[in-house]
Amino acid sequence: MPCLSQGTVAVALSGGVDSLMALSRLLEEGAACLGLHASFLPEDERSRRVRERLQAICRELQVPFHHIDCSRAFSEAIIQPFVRGFAQGLTPNPCSLCNPRIKFGLLLDTAQELGAWFLATGHYARLLRQGASRPALMRGRDAAKEQSYFLALVPPDRLARACFPLGELCKEEVKDAVQRRFGEVPSPEESQEICFVPGNDYRAFLERQPVDLPGPGPMLGTDGTFFGEHEGLHRYTVGQRRGLGIAHSEPLYVLDKDAAGNRLIVGPRRELTGSSCTLEAVNYLLPYREWPRPIWVQCNYRQQPRRAEARQRESGLCLFWHESGMPAVPGQIGAVYSANGQVLAGGIIRGR
């Protein structure tokens, strides 16, 4: 890890096994570390206990501990855009925005103010550094856990200050090692998919927010067939089958959301397909002219990457899959990879 020879490393400590393992590995390698714990939400009794336990762990390890309250910045940069995105008919990806805006934005800035050169996190991803060139962001070794997709929007100059000690490890060995060293960790449960949404019920969360959400509207087939009324576009995602309340001769899926007309477009599985998409606000981790061919595109964390072609346009980066498959969902993140797992670019999906 190059960060070991270049000054103090701030370790972002959430209280879970991954961040504690990152700290443990760095200390074992002889790095000078400080612990940095951020509160993304207003502190409650549970989060206070996590903070105090982390502080005690750092005291035992003789590691300086710092706590910062990021709740206001997190609300402005992550929660409010998430709510606005759904109100506009999008399906935002807050985790992918949190990394460039908060973790490798505000937290990295704070780490540098505290005298640290690098910020280490518990992400399962790898960084390959070759001389003075920009680091290459690579998939982590654990295929089931790797998180490079969520890091695709982090700018290259910020990645140059990042450190991912778990990139070569697998989740199970991390859990075993942390249990042996620390016993019960401060926050033993796995992180929620959306950390600020209680119970992962984003629909209920949205409906509690002070925003005008689209109300009921027509559910239509691609040929204009009327199937009934939807309950608000924010309650549906492209590819959804359950919960439509439609009696039909074959299962119907959400094909698209027409925000301008407040219409939900539905149809059979064979119509749930896409062959292209456009990325906006593209973050190039390798200049486009240097891209290897072929490329692979991943438009959802759970989806397998698909072979594609890319074209730069004024409107953004246009991607064309070699074979049609699940359509890209506006508001989600598109990550472009090389065949060997290097992240070439990332952007926000705005169109097909």
Decide if 299 is catalytic. no
Of the candidates 3, 33, 98, 163, the residue annotated as catalytic is: 98
d(C-alpha 260, C-alpha 89), whole Å: 9
Residues in the chain: 352
Judge whether 98 counts as a catalytic residue. Answer: yes
Q: CA–CA separation, 163 vs 150, rounded Å?
A: 15
Q: Report the C-alpha gap between 71 and 51 in whole angstroms.
A: 15
Burial 31-60 (b: 16+ CB within 10 A, else e): bbbbbbbbbbeeeeeebeebbebbbebbee
**Tokens of residue 246, six digits:** 């439609």
Tokens found for residue 89:
């008919």
90 three-state secondary structure: coil
For CA atoms 320, 92, 107, 174, the dihedral sign is negative
DSSP 105: I
Residues annotated as catalytic are 98, 195
